Amino acid sequence: MEVKSAEFVASYPKVVACPKDGRPEFAFIGRSNVGKSSLINMLTHKGLAKVSGTPGKTRLLNFFLINQSWYLVDLPGYGYARVSKSEQRNLQGMISSYFQYREELINAFVLIDSTIAPTKIDLDFINGLGELAVPFVIVFTKTDRIGKDTLDRNIAAFMGKLSETWETLPTYFISSAEKRIGRTELLEYIAKWSKPSKQ
């Protein structure tokens, strides 16, 4: 897939306010500071998503229209502690509602930091998607920051942990926003699952 156009549409505080034009949606989510904005910019074009030095800045459901045919949805990160408990509950509720009720969602891309050992919060989040029967794939980020042997070990450790609760393991991709690794594979995956607009 060639990204010919990518534009920010709007940010929405609630699922009921999101677009109702029937275009397919592909959502991106991960723990704060996983490199989500950088990955989105790598897939589309530089500057589309705001990259912040302060993790956890995304607080709304951010919609980007790609090629006038599908939405890339930038969801708030999970697991960031520097917000009040009430705001954490609000964010969690917004994310859960999106995954439960957004019929336009085709697939979620769950971003996992490849440079660290498996974390409970990532595993719990993925297991939660499984309970909701949300289709998703895993994207390991920051793969340029470690050697291949360490990368292979970290991925094997993560998938091994998932195998404790999953009979069939989810598909995964490796990526690096810095070196543009994984861009073609991710866009081809989206192209495969995109459906024509209901317009």
Strand spans (E) along 5-135: 6-12, 25-30, 61-66, 70-74, 105-113
Terminal-to-terminal C-alpha distance of the chain: 21
Distance between CA atoms of residues 160 and 149, nearest Å: 16
Task: Give the tens place of pLDDT for each residue, 153-183.
Answer: 999 999 999 999 999 999 999 999 999 999 9
pLDDT at 63: 96
Note the pLDDT tens digit of each residue in 16-40: 999 999 999 999 999 988 999 999 9
**Which stretch of 82-86, 128-132, 148-152 has the lowest confidence by average pLDDT?**
82-86
- Identify the CA nearest to 38 among candidates 78, 88, 77, 91: 77
Where is average pLDDT lowest: 66-70, 85-89, 148-152? 85-89
90: how many CB neighbours lie within 10 A of its CB?
A: 15
Lowest mean pLDDT among 91-105, 158-172, 185-199: 185-199
Examine the pLDDT at 51 and tell me if it is beyond 80. Answer: no
Residue ranges of the domains in the chain?
A: 6-193
pLDDT at 113 over 60: yes
Closest CA to 113 of 49, 175, 41: 175
What CATH code is assigned to 6-193?
A: 3.40.50.300
Beta bridge partners of 110: 29, 138
Which of these, 137, 82, 81, lies nearest to 108 by C-alpha position?
137
Evaluate whether 95 touches 79 at the Cβ level (below 8 Å).
no
